Structure 1
Amino acid sequence: MQVVKNILIMLIIGWLALLLFMPKQELYYKLESELETQEVKINEGSIEEGLFSLTIREADVYAKGIKLATANKIDIFSLLFYTKIEVDFLEIDASLKTMAPTTIDSIVATHAVWNPLGIDIETEGPFGSAVGTMDVVDNYIRLDFNASQANAPFKDKLNEDEEGWYYETSL
């Protein structure tokens, strides 16, 4: 029993050391280089590294050289088996207002080992709130919106079923 206890303690210490000394900024730059192959570029104002997190401030997102959005703050928190990304105040370019709301107050995306094929998404904004999931195998997203009338500018992009308004697409 003592051997099992010592092995378990060593595994926990190793896991914590990996989390604390993980090169978070270098992993972010690797993500940026992978996105560049898809012609997506992120210009960040500043990057702050925490014990278990990475914070990106004033990030502009470009696709094929066209500015799509600006995020005030992006927090990435990871424990390896649980990852949470929070985006605070996302402002989408006005040219996309017929496809999406121009401002989103917050987006929270969560991925966990106990649901390896799905990413849970929650969002709030002037349109109300929405919750949904992304299937990472089929590249499929579904967001269920509340019954707010504020989402009228892009309501033609939403579908309705017995549960209410929803948006779904495959990437």
Structure 2
Amino acid sequence: MVKKLYKFFGYSLVFILALMYFVPKVSLYYFLETKLDQFAVVISSEEVLDKGFTLKIKHADLYYKSIQSANIQESNIKLFVLYNAVDFQNITLSSAAKFFVPLHVKNINIKYTMFDPLYIKADVEGEFGKANVRFSIFDKTLHLKLLPSELMLKSYVNTLKNMSKNEKGEYIYDKTIKL
């Protein structure tokens, strides 16, 4: 009986891994791109590479309402059913944002797990400092906690005025998003 149970779980694991490996990730990416178009978001000039269990995207230009908003040097998409993650590295924001925040973002790590299904979480690091972001899927609220860098504290005081400061020196920003 135990041997049959091990066999069942073994075959199930092999099936799930094979399914994840052979799923057409590039086609799913382009399908997602068409869905983003509904929100006036366009990704162009990217190089899309299927790496087996992950999807790597290089040199992507991000446009919002036909205005170039960012250039993303590299991103990795990991879809593992129970744990999903998207990692972005070396992001340069549009020069229009230079009045609000520093333009270079070192990395963004976005995570969604079935063990905490009501939240999408992100860790962000850049010239502005370090930020933790939590988005509630249920009530569509965004909670941002920023530990600002010296550059942010010195040159972007007006941006920080839109946030509340806690006793740890972190800046908090909460917003309800209407989708």
TM normalised by structure 1 equals 0.91
Aligned length: 171
Q: CA deviation at 1:132?
A: 2.6
Match of 2:126 in 1: 125
Q: How far 1:66 moved relative to its partner?
A: 1.2
Give the structure 2 partner of residue 47 of structure 1. Answer: 48
Return the letter of the residue paired with 1:159.
S
CA distance in 2, matches of 1:140, 1:7: 42
8 Å Cα contact 2:108/2:125 also seen in 1: yes
Query: Are 2:114 and 1:113 aligned?
Result: yes
Gaps of 5+ in 2: none
- Tell me how far apart the structure 2 counterparts of residues 48 and 64 of structure 1 sit (CA, whole Å): 26
**How far apart in 2 are the matches of 1:120 and 1:37?**
23
Q: Take 1:70 and 1:2, find their aligned partners in 2: how far apart are those partners? A: 53
Percent identical among aligned pairs is 24
Residue of structure 1 in register with 2:175 after alignment: 169
TM-score, length of structure 2 as denominator length: 0.88
What's the CA shift string for 1:112-158, capped at 9, x where partnerless?
11011111211111121112311122222212122533223132232
Q: CA deviation at 1:7?
A: 1.5
The more displaced of 153-162 and 72-81 is 153-162
CA RMSD of aligned residues (A): 1.6
CA contact (8 A) 1:99 1:157 kept: no
The residue type paired with residue 32 of structure 2 is: L
- Paired residues for 1:86-97 under 5 Å: 86-97=87-98
Q: Is the 8 A contact 1:44 1:56 kept in 2?
A: no
State the Cα distance separating 1:87 from its structure 2 match.
Answer: 0.7
Residue equivalent to 1:13: 14
Q: Residue 52 of structure 2: SS of its match in structure 1?
A: coil
